[in-house]
Amino acid sequence: MGAVVLEGVEKSFDGIKVCSQIDLSINKGEFFTFLGPSGCGKTTLLRLIAGFITPQSGAVFIDGNEVTKLPPEKRKVGMVFQNYSLFPYLTVGQNIEYGLTIQKKSARERQKIVELYMDMVGLSGFGGRKVTELSGGEQQRVALARSLAVEPEVLLLDEPLSNLDARLRDKMRSEIKSLQKRLGITTIFVTHDQTEALTLSDRIAVFDKGRVVQVGTPKEIYDTPGNVFVAGFVGDTNLFRVTRSGNTIRLESGIKLNIPSTSGPGNWLSIRPQNIRISAKPIHEPNSFQGRLLEKQLNGVWIDSIIEVGSTVLRVAELNTFEMKGELQPGDNVWVTLPENGLRLLED
Ligand code: ADP
Ligand code: MG
């Protein structure tokens, strides 16, 4: 049995279903991410696992034991809340010590553990500081140390990076990952940010409106999205409604494309911007069309282009290498190829 198992978990507030039939099994030591847009029930599910709320139906297991109705302190979980929820009137040391007092550890033991975890998150010597005097990043570290100090079986992190500025976010992201690997602790990480999910996770569950729509490794989720929602939410893509006959599909604009004979069913076409090829000269290959460059934007590593083919608008991304001559300008004619292998049919 997984380290955390959810079986048919359902939660409603005031008759409105927020989590629907959630079945998940998270392995011991795994870095597992709940990814989805705001309001899709991620925090609610995390609180159900922590024990702050109970489901109307279904069961929660931690380490093989059913904990559905147990209070948080009996579940061996540590949680970092989105707003950190530190005690403002306590020092850094006292915040980290808090859970240990509940565990009835001796003063000496508590002191040792507090030092250990302050050191682990890079806050040695901060014990006597007031948490209100700390920066956002430092508060984040206190919250992390506080949740780890009780030595939980499972670490729950609710959007822990969302209040930090971009540079600090990148730094904390890699620190959290290396700490998690070092401790080998089963971790559930909640985010609405696809980059965080793709870079940190062993596996991801993608949520849409209170349901899990796909579970997989970052590569599986990105390369083989299970439906049109996942394709659009994880990574950029071009999406078009299509009708199919045999190995040909037709976009609403009239464009016809050959698709691989192995294509699954679906009335949506997804093609990632980096899978479309651009040329300043005519291309004589299948799935190639003449179009017009509408916009071009340099993003550093990438050059993003908007190209119009008839009434179809395509977003294209090219790697910005030294070989790029930048000869194409908005208004120019261009030729695009949508290679068969880059085309994916998806269902709603
Ligand atoms: P997420 O974390 O994915 O943004 P939440 O789990 O916080 O989503 O919320 C999902 C939905 O449940 C939202 O519509 C939210 O307003 C609602 N909700 C969450 N907690 C409560 C509550 N205690 N009472 C009523 N509605 C709630
Ligand atoms: Mg939330």
16 lines ligand 1 (CB under 6 A): no
Residue bearing the CA closest to ligand 1, atom 12: 18
Contacts of residue 188, defined as CB under 8 A and 6 or more positions apart, other chains included, come to 4, 26, 32, 33, 34, 46, 49, 154, 155, 156, 157
Strand partners, 305: 296, 316
Pocket test for ligand 1, best of 9, 10, 12, 13 (most atoms within 8 A of CB): 13
- Residue 39 Cα to ligand 1 middle (Å): 6
Q: How confident is the model at residue 103 (pLDDT cuts 50, 70, 90)?
A: confident
322 lines ligand 1 (CB under 6 A): no
39 lines ligand 1 (CB under 6 A): yes
Predicted model pTM: 0.93
Residue bearing the CA closest to ligand 1, atom 16: 39
310 lines ligand 1 (CB under 6 A): no
- Residue 32 Cα to ligand 1 middle (Å): 21
Give me the residue spans of the domains in the chain.
4-231, 236-346
Tokens matching residue 123:
């806050």
- Ligand number nearest CA of 45 is 1
Closest of 296, 298, 303, 281 to residue 330, by C-alpha = 296
Alpha carbon 166 to its chain centroid, in Å, reads: 16
- Ligand number nearest CA of 42 is 1
13 lines ligand 1 (CB under 6 A): yes
d(CA 329, CA 166) in angstroms, rounded, equals 32
Q: Which helix (H) or strand (E) holds 10?
A: strand 4-13
- Residue 173 Cα to ligand 2 middle (Å): 18
Q: How confident is the model at residue 231 (pLDDT cuts 50, 70, 90)?
A: very high
Span 79-101, pLDDT tens digits: 999 888 899 999 999 999 998 88
- Residue 13 Cα to ligand 2 middle (Å): 15
Q: Residue 322 pLDDT more than 90? A: no
In this prediction, residues 205-230 reach a mean pLDDT of 97
Q: C-alpha dihedral over 93, 155, 152, 49, to 10 degrees?
A: 120
Class of domain 236-346: mainly beta
Q: Does domain 4-231 have CATH number 3.40.50.300?
A: yes
- Ligand number nearest CA of 52 is 1
Q: What share of the chain has pLDDT > 70, as a percent?
A: 99
- Residue 192 Cα to ligand 1 middle (Å): 14
Q: Residue 324 pLDDT more than 80? A: no
40 lines ligand 1 (CB under 6 A): yes
Q: What is the structure's pLDDT at 198?
A: 96
- Residue 191 Cα to ligand 2 middle (Å): 8
Q: Among all chains, which residue has been given the structure tokens 């569950």?
A: 205
Q: What is the structure's pLDDT at 164?
A: 84
Tokens matching residue 300:
């550093």
Q: Residue 264 pLDDT more than 90? A: no
Pocket test for ligand 1, best of 9, 43, 211 (most atoms within 8 A of CB): 43
